[in-house]
């Protein structure tokens, strides 16, 4: 029996072998933005495990766009070879691979959150400690423990747009099948979208049209650089979960604009803009947002957020809530979640040829995928 979760899905010229994606997850294991052996093994093992697509973690388009000094980067050509090695291996496992282009904005210049245990060791890095001056739409810090950011002037905005364009060019040289622009989780582009962070009175603040201007300008710059036969994703936070913040209605409206500007899929998350948001965490708590955007904005979506069970993930696709399902923490628990999910559903999933002797009967060996032509 074939389940929708294991059906193929095509965007432009790229065919994803199934609907299961590895959500971008920061590993805080980079030095000067370079991908290391950890990134190759971490991402490659999820491709071995049967994911249809793998997204490399938030990769800063400029050094000051990092959350921490341990973030991955794509701000210089020297980053390309290590990223290309990762992309090549993922292709060898029959999966598609993308990279998330990011700028942390006011949430930057923080220390690597481990050790001590994740969530307890993060602190503001001062310039004397190797930190940097964060930037943002307005001089409004994320919280009292974060730096007051420097508002971007027009020259800074123009340089940011150009940095995203150049990052897309490097991503193509590295062999990625798609790129995802990070406009979620309280990072720079999301900061411009939300009245909670954006207090500007110029062309980039105030009205919905003005607050969405930078996100659309970045989309246009990346789309112009990115080949027309390859897809472009954008990750958004559908709501800030806070009064006076970015709303689901605005997300639907923006997603319509994204479609008109050449975006192929909206990766729908939520939150991250303010530290005191009241988020009703629960299984699939963000799926409704992906479903509404898909229905009302007429654009493909990916659902993410406490999706852990095979039947649950299959239902998201089968019921038309989203076109793709992205898993994060569940992939940290089980890199082979897709092949285990296929077995649980009574479906078949391809296995690495080296492991085929351990696969369920009639499981096909995996076929490598060809990378897109470099720029």
pLDDT digits 0-9 by tens, 273-304: 999 899 999 999 999 999 999 999 999 999 99
CA nearest neighbour of 270 among 234, 238, 246: 238
**Cβ(195)–Cβ(211) below 8 Å:** yes
pTM value? 0.96
Going by the DSSP 8-state scheme, the letter that residue 375 receives in this structure is -
Homologous superfamily, domain 4-358: Aldolase class I (3.20.20.70)
Point out which residues pair with 236 in neighbouring strands.
183, 268
Count of CB atoms situated within 10 Å of the CB of 322: 28
Question: Looking at beta carbons, which pairs linking 43-46 to residues 24 or more positions away fall under 8 Å?
Answer: 43/86, 43/90, 43/97, 44/86, 44/89, 44/90, 44/93, 45/335, 46/22, 46/331, 46/335
User: Whose CA is closest to 141, among 197, 186, 214, 60?
Assistant: 197
Q: Do 237 and 184 meet the contact criterion of CB atoms below 8 Å apart?
A: yes
Q: What is the rounded end-to-end Cα distance, in angstroms, of the chain?
A: 41
Alpha helices in the chain, H assignment, sequence order: 37-48, 80-92, 154-173, 188-193, 208-211, 213-225, 248-260, 287-297, 310-318, 329-333, 337-345
With a pLDDT cut of 70, the percent of the chain lying above it is: 96
- CA 19 to CA 16: how far, in whole Å? 7
Task: Please give the Cα distance from 286 to 207 (Å, whole number).
Answer: 26
Encode pLDDT of 121-141 as tens digits: 567 876 657 789 999 999 999
pLDDT tens, the chain, 375 aa long: 589 999 999 999 999 999 999 999 999 999 999 999 999 999 999 999 999 999 999 999 999 999 999 999 999 999 999 999 999 999 999 999 999 999 999 999 998 887 644 555 567 876 657 789 999 999 999 999 899 999 999 999 999 999 999 999 999 999 999 999 999 999 999 999 999 999 999 999 999 999 999 999 999 999 999 999 999 999 999 999 999 999 999 999 999 999 999 999 999 999 999 998 999 999 999 999 999 999 999 999 999 999 999 999 999 999 999 999 999 999 999 999 999 999 999 998 889 999 999 988 888 899 999 877 765
pLDDT score at 304: 98
Distance CA 207, CA 205 (A): 6
Return the sign of the alpha-carbon dihedral for residues 126, 129, 131, 132.
positive
Asked if residues 273 and 237 have their Cβ atoms less than 8 Å apart, the reply is yes
Domain ranges of the chain: 4-358
Catalytic residues: 187
Q: How many CA atoms lie within 13 A of 258 on its CB side?
A: 31
User: How many CB atoms lie under 10 A from the CB of residue 194?
Assistant: 23
Alpha carbon of 132 to those of 146, 219, 268: distances in Å? 12, 26, 30
In terms of C-beta density within 10 A (0-12 exposed, 13-18 middle, 19 or more buried), how is residue 27 classed? middle
Rounded distance between C-alpha atoms, residue 266 and residue 374, angstroms: 25
Instruction: Tell me how far apart the alpha carbons of residues 329 and 145 are, in angstroms, rounded to a whole number.
Output: 26
Instruction: Judge contact between 81 and 173, C-beta under 8 A.
Output: no
* Residue range 19-63, pLDDT digits in tens: 999 999 999 999 999 999 999 999 999 999 999 999 999 999 999
């Amino acid at each position: 029996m074939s389940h929708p979760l294991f059906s193929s899905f095509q965007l432009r010229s790229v065919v994803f072998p199934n609907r299961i994606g590895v959500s971008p997850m920061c590993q805080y294991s980079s030095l000067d933005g370079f991908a290391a052996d950890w990134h190759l093994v971490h991402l490659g093992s999820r491709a071995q495990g049967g994911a249809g697509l793998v997204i490399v973690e938030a990769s800063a388009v400029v050094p000051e766009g990092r959350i921490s000094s341990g973030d991955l980067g794509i701000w210089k050509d020297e980053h390309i070879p290590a990223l290309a090695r990762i992309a090549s291996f993922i292709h060898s496992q029959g999966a598609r691979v993308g990279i998330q282009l990011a700028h942390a904005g006011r949430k930057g210049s923080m220390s690597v959150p481990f050790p001590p245990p994740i969530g307890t060791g993060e602190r503001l890095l001062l310039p004397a400690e190797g930190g940097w001056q964060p930037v943002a739409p307005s001089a409004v810090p994320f919280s009292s423990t974060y730096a007051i950011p420097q508002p971007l002037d027009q020259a800074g905005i123009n340089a940011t747009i150009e940095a995203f364009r150049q990052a897309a060019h490097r991503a193509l040289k590295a062999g990625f099948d798609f790129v995802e622009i990070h406009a979620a989780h309280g990072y720079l582009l999301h900061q411009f979208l939300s009245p909670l962070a954006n207090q500007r009175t110029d062309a980039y603040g105030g009205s919905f049209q003005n607050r969405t201007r930078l996100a659309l300008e970045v989309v246009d710059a990346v789309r112009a650089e990115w080949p027309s036969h390859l897809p472009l994703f954008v990750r958004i936070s559908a709501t800030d979960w806070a009064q006076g913040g970015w709303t689901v209605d605005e997300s639907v409206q923006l997603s319509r604009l994204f479609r008109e500007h050449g975006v192929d899929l909206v990766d729908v998350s939520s939150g991250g803009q303010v530290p005191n948001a009241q988020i009703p965490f629960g299984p699939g708590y963000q799926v409704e947002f992906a479903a509404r955007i898909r229905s009302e904005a007429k654009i493909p979506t990916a659902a993410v957020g406490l999706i852990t069970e095979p039947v649950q993930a299959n239902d998201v696709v089968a019921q038309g809530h989203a076109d793709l399902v992205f898993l994060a923490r569940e992939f940290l628990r089980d890199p082979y979640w897709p092949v285990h999910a296929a077995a649980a559903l009574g479906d078949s999933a391809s296995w690495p040829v080296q492991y085929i002797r351990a696969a369920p009967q009639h499981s096909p060996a995996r076929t490598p995928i060809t990378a897109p032509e470099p720029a």
